[in-house]
Amino acid sequence: MAVQDPFHLAIQVRDINEARRFYGDFLGCPEGRSSDSWVDFDLYGHQFVCHLNPALKGQSANTHKNPVDGHGVPVPHFGVVLEMDAWNTLSAKLREHGVAFEIEPYIRFKGEPGEQATMFFYDPSGNALEFKAFKDREAQLFQKS
């Protein structure tokens, strides 16, 4: 997927092969360059890099949450704003594979400006991900309340 101005995001992971299985095999992100300590992925047209941090033993503690629409949103988090059909497909895939959601897929701000489909879950290293979608992404993405 070509994006006009792709972002670059680098995160830490506890195991490179585990990251390859999650981001590459499970989420379907094509792999780019790599070494023993990092791997590039194409995350919906963006350059996404997983860097090995051997100090991460288990899942990292992602304990801070901010209240948004009655839910505790993990901070920090990252993700992609998808088209609604792609969001529905991804949420169904995650449910089918038994992914534990921090926030189950639902419609946030229902009936308000900025209404959006959203879901939160963690990668195997404890990095929080949010994927969202809008009915009309161009009109609603930066819409004020």
Sorted by where each starts, the structural domains of the chain and their CATH numbers stand as 8-52 (3.10.180.10), 65-140 (3.10.180.10)
> What was the pLDDT predicted at 27?
96
What is the reported pTM?
0.90
pLDDT tens digits along 76-133:
999 999 999 999 999 999 999 999 999 999 999 988 878 899 999 999 999 999 999 9
Using pLDDT thresholds of 50, 70 and 90, give the confidence band for residue 143.
Answer: confident
Our CA angle for 36, 90, 53, nearest 5°, is 25
For the segment 55-69, the average pLDDT, to the nearest whole number, is: 80
pLDDT tens digits along 21-38:
999 999 999 999 999 999
Instruction: For residue 131, list its beta bridge partners.
Output: 80, 119
Q: Kindly list the distances between the CA atom of residue 136 and the CA atoms of 68, 85, 94, 114, in Å, as whole numbers in the listed order.
A: 21, 12, 24, 10
Instruction: For residue 13, list its beta bridge partners.
Output: 52
